[in-house]
Structure 1
Amino acid sequence: MLDLIVRNAHLAGSADGALVDIGVEAGRIVVLAPVAGERLTNAAEAIDAGGALVSAGLVETHIHLDKSHILDRCTPSPNRGTDHMKRVAAVKPGFTVDDVHARAARSLESCVLHGAMHMRTHVEVDPNVGLRGFEGVKRLVDEYAWAIDVELCAFIQEGWTGVPEADANMVAAIEGGATVVGGAPGYDPDHEWQIRRIFELATRYDLDVDIHLDMGFTTHDMDIWLVCELADRYGWGGRTAIGHGTKYSCLTPDELDRLGSRLADSGVAVTVLPATDLFVTGRHQDHAVLRGVADANVLHRCGVTCSLSTNNILNPFTPFGDGSLTRIANLYANTVQRGMASELADCFAMLSRQSAKLLRRGDYGIAVGNPADLVVWDAADAGHAVATAALPLHGFKRGRRTFTREKPVLHRPG
């Protein structure tokens, strides 16, 4: 007898739209049966998707659990100010392991309830917080393994060059379990030194790279070219990603195509973070304000691995958020003006297949033998899920139900 059957499922990326039954045993998909053929029977649990979209669990590639839910202690900058980092830096000394753990758990649970089953979270280890944020988030990895796979990217937010304690904290976090090394060279007096140090540590400890990069609106001083050069030199293609890239929204079409070709050749992935990038970009302008959201559809067309992610939840950098990646994709598609069915389907892929590729999840997707990480959506297909910012109805991690959301019912008079 099977452990689980999900009937009448429309699979994301299905070419012909034919419905299937998904059979699960011992946490893995063991059979995909076309509905037109012999039906699966005898399971401990069975649900009927009713022709709705069923996808693999979504992938959150770039989020900051450690500094989420802090608006009670530091508000956003008034009058479109730009001191977001200063405001967060001022409260980081008050973070405790338990405080970080509690706030991060709230955000993590919200992400799970919105369909995320894989995550890379960035954790700051600047001297003013030390390893407290890292330790608070690290506790969640095992505690929530039943619902989501979490990997930790340690990074320095506030400047690394000439700060020995920052470097020591980074090494300690790596040796304490971080599997990705990152940074924010835009806040460093020496961008190049920080980027080279990131690759030095990544290659020494055999870690992936994920860097906050090229935030702003000038294009003559982009750091992406050095990142591509080092990815080529060290053979780190497919293991290197950058987040934000707001400067890429200011490139001409030809320049963006040239960047896309370079990124694709070097195997450097890009994560676009529309909620934060919209909120913080263009604050030097009082009209015709820049959007600051890079067009991932163009980069994807060039062969670049692209993802869309949350970044911050309820802090001065982004005083919004609920962990919904479909909401993020909807916001992104509105901003870059992508509305064709194929473009919206690509956006959903940037929450799922493309994001899984960025995290190097070789066992991702709805296929026989893969883990049964399944989400049933209140949507007809992948593009519809993005267009409507759809909510998930059921989630199963390795075949075990992790959440249920009831569809709303309209109560008509009489």
Structure 2
Amino acid sequence: MSEVHLINARLPLRDELDLYELKAVNGVWVSVQKQERMVYMSESIPIQDITPRYEHEEGRPVDLAGRIVLPGFVDAHTHLDKAFTIQNVKNRSGTLFEAIKNYNKVISSFTKEDIKRRIEQAVLQSVKNGTVAIRSHLNFPYEYGESIAFRTIYAALGARESLRDIVDIQYVLMVPSREHSAEMWRAVEEAIKAGIDIIGGAPHVVHEHERFTDELFKIAVKYNIPIDLHTDERDDPHIQTISYLAEKTIAEGYQGKVTAGHLCTLSAIEPEKANTIINRMLEAELSAITLPASNLYLQGREDEGPVRRGITRVKELLHSGIKTAVASDNIQDPFHPFGNGDLLQAGLLTAYAAHMGSEDELQSLLQMITSLPASILGLSQYGIEAGHPVRFVVCDAQTHIELFSNLSPNRWVYRDFQWLHVSRKNGEWGNI
């Protein structure tokens, strides 16, 4: 029997100040009880002294001394197949278009083994940071040949299988923006049959975006799968496909099953028009994802001043009631040369870019990397509640401000029956 017993834990998704005692048996939470005060147990173990495997400490209380416990982070938009390619693919101008152009030049040179290895590396880094579930968009470069397109698919499916005990992964197929032949659409369906979960793409770079969106919906409806799109990832306020996406979603009765990522041009248009679009998004029950790292890096490159930063209207989306998440996007590739899959860092970037710093706003940021993206991904029984699976991260902080200021250099990550990653006085240890 596997047991976990935590004392003196803070659960900021419930409240910031109170302490809790948490118990789990065989990978399921059985008790979440509020404490009246800080408690001390002679047999307890300080969290910093925990060992990776925990066998000889099984069931003994782990004293968190007031540290924050969050349900494992959920990264709702990444590009695992592109991760760690910055040494192979340069982007001198720092623009989205050069990133796409240069990446396409070398895409055929990546072997299945290369792609699988990089996906696994990116996932393991994210898990160490506290992530327990990921949705990754996958390139499907059919214009370079079917074998090259499926090379990424098979590598990604293989990586998911090898990592299934430590993380949940959903894959979005990025349908190419051109050469939409009957053979390509057949290949798209074959990829879905092979194990792809969601259909996606970038309508704003397609010549006939409405027709393209219609085709995506046809396949989504046929296979009863969600849709997750790169949407209006541009500075130009005249690039606007989100309205048609909302209308199509309502027409197809697909409310609650469509996600729009980026939404950069939403912040480039006048407020009155933006509010009209947001209200229609709400009616369509669209979900939204902001990607602060990549958008801050890529957008506004041609502006001489004032420089547009590309971040969508985060506050307006949240206040409207639209499910809005923060995600990591690209990791050390030509689209974003930095990053390590740390959602706390993505939350901090959002705080700066969207001017979010009040207590309520910091609480919203925590929800945007936990419960909100969990809902977008359709994760059932998510969170620290009796009867739910045990998947959490302990952060070395006691308040919202401390958490986002220091980004918790020490983290302890637990999933189901084991500590996946622990921080100790003499270094980091773990089972991954």
TM-score normalised according to structure 1 size: 0.93
Separation in structure 1 between the aligned mates of residue 252 and residue 135 of structure 2, nearest angstrom: 22
**Cα distance change on mapping 1:407 and 1:328 into 2, 3 Å:** farther
1:359 to 355, 377, 382: 377
What's the offset of the Cα at 1:185? 1.5
What's the offset of the Cα at 1:44? 3.0
Aligned residue type for 1:302: S
Aligned residue type for 1:25: V
Structure 2 counterpart SS, 1:32: strand
Structure 2 counterpart SS, 1:196: helix
What's the offset of the Cα at 1:141? 1.6
**Cα distance change on mapping 1:166 and 1:279 into 2, 3 Å:** farther
Query: Partner residue of 2:23?
Result: 23
Query: Partner residue of 1:226?
Result: 244
The answer to which of 128-137 and 252-261 deviates more is: 252-261
- Contact kept? 2:289, 2:326, Cα under 8 Å: yes
Separation in structure 2 between the aligned mates of residue 220 and residue 81 of structure 1, nearest angstrom: 17
Q: Does 1:202 align with 2:220?
A: yes
**Cα distance change on mapping 1:2 and 1:315 into 2, 3 Å:** closer
**Cα distance change on mapping 1:204 and 1:78 into 2, 3 Å:** same
User: 1:265-307, CA deviations, whole angstroms, 9 ceiling, x for partnerless residues?
Assistant: 2110111111111111112213321111013222011000001
1:344 to 362, 368, 384: 362
Point out where structure 2 has 5 or more consecutive residues left out of the alignment: 44-56, 428-432
Q: How many residues align?
A: 408
**Cα distance change on mapping 1:223 and 1:184 into 2, 3 Å:** same
What's the offset of the Cα at 1:353? 0.8
What's the offset of the Cα at 1:260? 2.4
- Contact kept? 2:96, 2:335, Cα under 8 Å: no
**Cα distance change on mapping 1:263 and 1:394 into 2, 3 Å:** same
Separation in structure 2 between the aligned mates of residue 171 and residue 392 of structure 1, nearest angstrom: 43
**Cα distance change on mapping 1:380 and 1:307 into 2, 3 Å:** same
What's the offset of the Cα at 1:189? 1.9
Query: Partner residue of 1:412?
Result: none
Query: Partner residue of 1:47?
Result: 62
User: CA RMSD, aligned part only?
Assistant: 2.2
Query: Partner residue of 1:147?
Result: 166
Structure 1 counterpart SS, 2:424: coil
Query: Partner residue of 1:182?
Result: 200
Q: Does 1:11 align with 2:16?
A: no
- Contact kept? 1:372, 1:396, Cα under 8 Å: yes
What's the offset of the Cα at 1:203? 0.7
Q: Does 1:97 align with 2:102?
A: no
Q: What are the within-5 Å matches in structure 2 for residues 317-336 of structure 1? A: 317-336=335-354
Separation in structure 1 between the aligned mates of residue 237 and residue 364 of structure 2, nearest angstrom: 26
The answer to which of 278-287 and 89-98 deviates more is: 278-287
What's the offset of the Cα at 1:311? 0.9
The answer to which of 370-379 and 5-14 deviates more is: 5-14
Query: Partner residue of 1:156?
Result: 175
User: 1:115-143, CA deviations, whole angstroms, 9 ceiling, x for partnerless residues?
Assistant: 10011111111212311111111112221
Separation in structure 2 between the aligned mates of residue 16 and residue 311 of structure 1, nearest angstrom: 29
Aligned residue type for 1:140: A
Query: Partner residue of 1:35?
Result: 35
Separation in structure 1 between the aligned mates of residue 288 and residue 331 of structure 2, nearest angstrom: 20
Aligned residue type for 1:143: S
**Cα distance change on mapping 1:379 and 1:181 into 2, 3 Å:** same
Separation in structure 1 between the aligned mates of residue 68 and residue 366 of structure 2, nearest angstrom: 12
Point out where structure 1 has 5 or more consecutive residues left out of the alignment: 410-414
Structure 2 counterpart SS, 1:256: helix
1:369 to 378, 381, 387: 387
Separation in structure 2 between the aligned mates of residue 46 and residue 88 of structure 1, nearest angstrom: 50
Q: Does 1:132 align with 2:151?
A: yes
- Contact kept? 2:135, 2:171, Cα under 8 Å: yes
Query: Partner residue of 2:54?
Result: none
1:244 to 222, 237, 262: 262
What's the offset of the Cα at 1:81? 7.9
Structure 2 counterpart SS, 1:200: helix
Q: What are the within-5 Å matches in structure 2 for residues 104-119 of structure 1? A: 104-119=119-134
Query: Partner residue of 2:84?
Result: 69
Q: What are the within-5 Å matches in structure 2 for residues 384-403 of structure 1? A: 384-391=402-409, 393-403=411-421
- Contact kept? 2:4, 2:25, Cα under 8 Å: yes
Separation in structure 2 between the aligned mates of residue 228 and residue 215 of structure 1, nearest angstrom: 16
Q: What are the within-5 Å matches in structure 2 for residues 277-292 of structure 1? A: 277-292=295-310
What's the offset of the Cα at 1:80? 5.6
- Contact kept? 2:2, 2:27, Cα under 8 Å: no
Separation in structure 2 between the aligned mates of residue 33 and residue 81 of structure 1, nearest angstrom: 49
**Cα distance change on mapping 1:45 and 1:400 into 2, 3 Å:** farther
Separation in structure 1 between the aligned mates of residue 161 and residue 173 of structure 2, nearest angstrom: 18
What's the offset of the Cα at 1:161? 5.1
**Cα distance change on mapping 1:165 and 1:275 into 2, 3 Å:** farther
